[in-house]
């Protein structure tokens, strides 16, 4: 019985420490990036490029609400002369799933010249997208559009890759999966911290190359 009590006690202490670690990393990310996030478009400095991070696409090729808001926000920045071109970064590992084509098609349908769109089909996650934007596509100064809860991690990665990126939130509605995504983000922060610490290389180091599935 005494041994069982010790196991329970150490388990509870371990759980509490893990929770504090998760919350601590989240607080560090927010504090380090708070001055890089602009919520008023009138105060947002101009940049050459707006980076749109990929998200889920429906089976019929339509953008999910989260991704649609990201692309619409990027168009808004372009129409307000805050950016001159677009980098769409997402997942296109297989022929039957293509975030890049969905985003590019949506932009073109809304009057964006295809010559203004740079496509990165190997932005498989946030770290890969940031690394490839700066090191493969040589974009050193940009505005990243994604949801508010995602911006601190994104900009923390960019800053630690020596990229001069700013963030603009794409939140235009309440999302059905928002609570789950915010909880997932807390764990993803730990992954990002580790990736930055080990100077992780992305799955692909070539422009326009689709990484092979493992």
Contacts made by residues 179-188, CB under 8 angstroms, sequence distance 24+: 181/147, 181/149, 182/149, 185/26, 185/149, 185/150, 185/153, 186/22, 186/23, 186/26, 187/22, 188/126, 188/153
Instruction: State the pLDDT at residue 69.
Output: 96
pLDDT at 6: 60
pTM: 0.86
Question: Measured between alpha carbons, how far is 94 from 100 in angstroms, rounded to an integer?
Answer: 12
What's residue 10's pLDDT?
60
Closest CA to 106 of 142, 148, 52: 52
pLDDT at 211: 45
pLDDT value at residue 213:
40
Q: Where are the domains of the chain?
A: 2-198
- The pLDDT value given to residue 110: 96
pLDDT means over runs of 10, the chain (214 residues): 65 67 79 94 96 91 93 97 96 82 95 96 94 95 96 97 96 74 84 93 76 42
Cα–Cα distances in Å, from 102 out to 39, 93, 124?
Answer: 26, 14, 15
Of residues 192, 73, 78, 44, the one with CA closest to residue 127: 192
Q: What is the CATH number of domain 2-198?
A: 3.40.50.620
Of 169, 123, 167, which Cα lies nearest the Cα of 142?
A: 167
Q: Are strands 164-169 and 49-53 parallel, antiparallel or unpaired?
A: unpaired
Distance CA 128, CA 99 (A): 15
Closest CA to 123 of 152, 98, 155: 98
DSSP string for residues in 95-150: TTB-HHHHHHHHHHHTT--GGGEEEETB--SHHHHHHHHHHTS---EEEEEE-GGG
90 with 54: CB under 8 angstroms? yes
Q: What pLDDT is recorded for position 214? A: 37
Neighbours of 86 (CB within 10 A): 24
């Amino acid at each position: 019985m005494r041994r069982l009590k010790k196991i329970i006690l150490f388990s509870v202490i371990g759980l509490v420490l893990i929770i504090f670690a998760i919350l601590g990393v989240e607080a560090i990310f927010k504090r380090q990036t708070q001055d890089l996030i602009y919520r008023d478009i009138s105060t947002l400095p101009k940049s050459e490029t707006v980076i749109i991070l990929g998200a889920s696409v429906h089976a019929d090729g339509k953008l999910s609400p989260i991704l649609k808001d990201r692309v619409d926000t990027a168009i808004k920045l372009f129409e307000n002369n805050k950016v001159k071109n677009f980098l769409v970064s997402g997942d296109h590992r297989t022929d039957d799933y293509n975030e890049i084509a969905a985003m590019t098609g949506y932009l073109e349908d809304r009057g964006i010249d295809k010559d203004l769109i740079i496509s990165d089909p190997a932005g498989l996650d946030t770290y890969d997208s940031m690394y490839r934007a700066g090191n493969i596509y040589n974009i050193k100064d940009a505005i990243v559009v994604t949801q508010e809860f995602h911006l601190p991690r994104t900009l923390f990665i960019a800053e630690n890759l020596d990229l001069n990126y700013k963030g603009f939130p794409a939140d235009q509605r309440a999302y059905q999966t928002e609570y789950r995504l915010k909880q997932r983000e807390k764990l993803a922060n730990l992954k990002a911290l580790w990736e930055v610490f080990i100077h992780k290389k992305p799955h692909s180091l070539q422009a326009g190359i689709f990484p092979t599935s493992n």
